[in-house]
Structure 1
Amino acid sequence: MTDSYEPTERTIPTRSRDRASYDRAAVHSILDEGYVCHLGFVRDGAPVVLPTLYGRIGDRLYVHGSTGSRPLRMAGSRGGEAPGLRVCLTVTHVDGLVLARSAFHHSINYRSVVVHGTAHQVTDPEERRTALDALVDHVVPGRSDDSRPANAKELAATAVLRLDLGEVSAKVRTGGPNDEPEDASLPHWSGVIPVRKAYGTPVPADDHDPAIPLPGYLSVL
C-alpha cells in the first residue's frame, strides 16, 4: 500500500489542478470528519444523487439503507448480470466564505473527496455487523459499544453497500480572495468569513433515566 492513490482520467480535475491531492492520509482525514455523503448513480438512464450516512474502515467505505431502497437493490445480483452498481460518492466540508472585491472572484474555502467505483452489497453477516458498527461509530466514536446491537429483524431490513477506495481524489481550497490587481483600490470589504462546526449541549430523551450519566465520549464532542 502506497501513501497516495493513483490518479486516473476521472480523478484529475480539468480546472484548478493545483488544488487536487491523492494523498491517502489527506483523503481519509476529509472522509473521517464528515457524516453525510452524496451517492450518485444512474437509474433508468437518468442521474440520481442521494444523501446518506457512511463509515470508513481502512480503504473501504460503507453506506446503508433499507433493503427495499433502489440503489441497494441495484447493487445486488440481477439475473445473469454481475453484481454491483457504478457510483460516484462525494463528501464536502465548507471552511470559509471568501468575499472578493468583485462578484466574479467570490468563492469558498473547502475540502472535498470524490470516489468513483462499483458498489457491492455486503452479504457476509460478520462484515455487515462490522460495517454497521462503523457507521454508528463514524458519527459518534464509541457509540456502538454503548447501544443495543441490531437484532435479526432489524438486520433483515437493513442492507449495506461496500465501496472500495481505489479511484479517489481530494480537492482543497484555502486562503483569501484572488482579487484582480486593478480592483485593490475599490472601496469594498474583502476577506474570509470562517465557517466552523459546533456541537450544542446534549439534550436527554424525555424518558431518559436521570441516573444514567452522560457518556464520556459525548462530553468530548
Structure 2
Amino acid sequence: METSLYEPVKRFLEQLGYTVKGEVRNCDIVALRDDDPAVVVIGELKLAFNLELILQGVDRATMGDEIWLAARLSANGKGRESDPRYRNLCRRLGFGLLGVSATGRVDVLVSPISPMPRKDPRRRSRLMEEHRRRQGDPVAGGGTRKPIMTAYRQQALACAAAMTAAPQRPRDLKHICPDAQKILHRNVYGWFQRAERGVYVLTELGRSALASWQPDITP
C-alpha cells in the first residue's frame, strides 16, 4: 500500500526541518516549516511512477509551493523513474521526484526548481488551516479505506470523551475543544443529543464511535 511509503518520505521532509502530516484535505502529505510559514510543501505517493501520480501533482500545484512525487523504486531499476522523458516532464512541471527503496532509503531523482502555476488562495488557505488545527499526525498518507482523522473529528471525539461520564455544557468543553458550541449544535456525526437547554449527552452512536476511534486519538 501507498502508506508504506509515508514514513520514509515523512522522515526525509522532517530532516529538512518541516512538520509533516498525512492526508490533509486529500493530499497524501502536507509539510510546513515554522521559520518559513509561507512555503507549503505537498507530497503525493504511489506504488509505481505513472501518469496518475503526475496528474495528482498537477491538481495539488494550485495549493503548494513545492510538489514532491514519490513512488517505490523498481526492483530491476528499469521502471519509469529511469525514463528520461518522465523525469524531464517532472522538471518542466516543477515537480520534485523521490524514489523510495525497499529498505526505506529515499533518493532525490528530480529537485523541484521550476516556477509553479498560479495558486488557488482558497484551497491553499484551507489546506494550511487544516494542517495547523490537526493535533499530531494521526493518519498515514496514502490511505483511503478509513475515514480521515480531521481536526474537526478530533475535536468531536474530545467532546465525546469528556461526556462519557456525565452530560456537558459547551462552555465547559471549550478548554479542550474551542469549537464545542458549533460541534454539539450541528451534531454532524449524530454523536450528541440535547438533554435540556444548553446541556448535551452522548448517544449510543457516539459511544460506539469513541470506542472505534480511541486508539487514534492524540492525547
Q: TM exceeds 0.5? A: no
Higher strand share: 1
TM-score with structure 2 length normalisation? 0.28
Ranked by relative contact order (alpha carbons within 8 Å, sequence separation 6 or more), the top structure is 1
